[in-house]
Amino acid sequence: MTHFSANSPHARDIASVLHPQTNARKHLDVGPTIMTHADGVYINDDAGNSFLDAGAGLWCASLGYANERLAKVAYEAMKTLGYYQIFRHASHGPAIDLSEKLLSIAPVPMSKVLLQCSGSEANDTAIKLVWYHWQAQGKPEKRKIISRSGSYHGSTCATISLTAKPDYHSGFGLPFDGFLYTDCPNFYRFGLPGETEKEFSQRLADKLEQTILEEGPETVAAFWADPVQGGAGALPPPAGYFEKVQAVLRKYDVLFVADEVICGFGRTGTMWGCETYGIEPDLISCAKALSAAMQPISAVLINDRIFQSLLLQSDRYGAFIHGYTYAGHPVCAAVALETLKIYEEMQLIDQVKSVEPVFLKEIGALCDHPMVGNFTGCGLIGGIEIVKDKESRTDWPASVGLGGRLDAAARRNGLILRIVGNRIAFSPPLIITAEEIRELARRLRKTLDEVHADVKAL
Ligand SMILES: Cc1ncc(COP(=O)(O)O)c(C=O)c1O
């Protein structure tokens, strides 16, 4: 057992903090890594280690981890109006300005913005809005929601049901009924021999159609997808995928909800993943880079069709009975608005586009490594497939504990990786430079070499 002196922050953490996504028993032994400060894309711990963060925290720290300008905006907002709610016709400048701004940059015409506090809340609220819409339209049985295997959409009871990862359901008695999962569009893993990407996309769209028909189109309310599938390891879609999927959804009047929580605000090389992949959603959820992760804020954008349903429901029920105390929080909204201003001033999309070729080349070049089967990416997001054997595309057995080995080796090499199953996912801060991307690739190759040397001898 690791020893920490009684009053050290490590011992106090173990005694007091319950960590999400952490093995509670192991934590008693290993304790926390305590981060202290940051410098651009590098984050430092209290032991003096500096890490290049290949994941921007949780896909969110678009501008790195400290920002004086945003701090000043938060300070001023707190001095002026540190809190007010937007319930029951109340409003304030930051909520109005931010909503207006989001509508002006939306990838398709949208009608209204509902500000929330996290990606989970945004998706949870969007689920309710989908159900509310179909109820308003006199179709209360149209309730089922389809997401894709491997997807992650949040941790509330409903959004974890939408999340198509069995290990996220274990021990909770979830998912709820009425959440269905269709295929993960990973061409490298699930494409058939001789099949082209477009044929693969068509096959998946056909399967989706089959599911809708089997369930009864009159019971299927919405399809949920993040343009680049984060939970599947930052997986860009195969060619033609969203075009074919949308054709099926339109045929059966199934709503498309685009989860832009990680893709929104430049990540894929356009403002929205929807723009990159030609998606025309009815609702959009966004968060994370909306405030450069400096304040907890998210938003749901709804189109006019959904808003018309809301009007009908207000006529029926007297009000839209939904809301969180901190929804549209003025400090968060002011910071988000300033973040969007910063993106414009720094010409964020051009910045991402200018380093995208370096990102694709440098990470793609790792495909010559014996452990790397494949790389797909766009903008500043993507992932590599880790395999035991490239020819057969077989995986390392679970007993090897590859994820833990990669994580530990990467940290020794000054790199924080996001390992998702058999993929390493990349979503570095959007301010990363070409040279920092090269450094990331160098540290990653060293990590892969070291882990390979260990595991091939097993
Ligand atoms: C695609 C996607 N949707 C939703 C969420 C949930 O966001 P939050 O953690 O802010 O609740 C995440 C979080 O990583 C995500 O990646």
Interval 277-335: pLDDT, tens: 999 999 999 999 999 999 999 999 999 999 999 999 999 999 999 999 999 999 999 99
Tens of pLDDT, residue by residue over 417-445, are 999 999 999 999 999 999 999 999 999 99
Please give all residues whose beta carbon lies within 6 A of any atom in ligand 1, as ranges.
58-59, 118-120, 123, 152-154, 226, 230, 259, 261-262, 287
198-211 per-residue burial string, b: 16 or more CB within 10 A, e: under 16 = ebbbbbbbeebbeb
Pick from 116, 120, 226 the residue to mutate for probing ligand 1's pocket: most ligand atoms within 8 Å of its CB: 120
Tens of pLDDT, residue by residue over 344-356, are 999 999 999 999 9
Which residue, 402, 386, 147, is CA-closest to 256? 147
Which residue's CA lies nearest to atom 4 of ligand 1?
153
Work out the pLDDT band at 3, boundaries 50, 70, 90: confident
Tens of pLDDT, residue by residue over 262-274, are 999 999 999 999 9
Span 176-190, mean pLDDT? 98
Q: What is the sign of the dihedral through the CA atoms of 343, 349, 351 and 352?
A: positive
The percentage of residues in the chain with a pLDDT greater than 90, rounded to a whole number, is: 98
Residues 6+ positions from 205 with CB-CB distance below 8 Å: 241, 244, 245, 247, 248
Which residue's CA lies nearest to atom 14 of ligand 1?
58
Work out the pLDDT band at 74, boundaries 50, 70, 90: very high
Does the pLDDT at position 1 exceed 60? Answer: no
Q: Which residue ranges does the chain devote to CATH 3.90.1150.10?
A: 33-54+347-455
Across the chain, mean pLDDT equals 97
CATH of domain 33-54+347-455: 3.90.1150.10
Residue 165 Cα, ligand 1 centroid: separation in angstroms?
A: 14
Which residue, 278, 274, 257, 117, is CA-closest to 179? 257
Cα 314 from Cα 394, distance rounded (Å): 55
The percentage of residues in the chain with a pLDDT greater than 70, rounded to a whole number, is: 100
Q: What is the sign of the dihedral through the CA atoms of 314, 318, 322 and 326?
A: positive
Span 9-25, mean pLDDT? 96
Cα 301 from Cα 108, distance rounded (Å): 10
Which residue's CA lies nearest to atom 7 of ligand 1?
119
Inter-residue contact 11 to 17 (CB < 8 Å): no
Predicted pLDDT of residue 458: 83
Q: Which residue ranges does the chain devote to CATH 3.40.640.10?
A: 69-345
Structure tokens belonging to residue 141:
């049985």
Inter-residue contact 256 to 223 (CB < 8 Å): yes
Residues 6+ positions from 53 with CB-CB distance below 8 Å: 41, 42, 43, 61, 416, 428, 429
Residue 261 Cα, ligand 1 centroid: separation in angstroms?
A: 6
Predicted pLDDT of residue 67: 95
Q: Which CATH class is domain 69-345?
A: alpha beta
Which residue's CA lies nearest to atom 9 of ligand 1?
119
pTM value > 0.75: yes
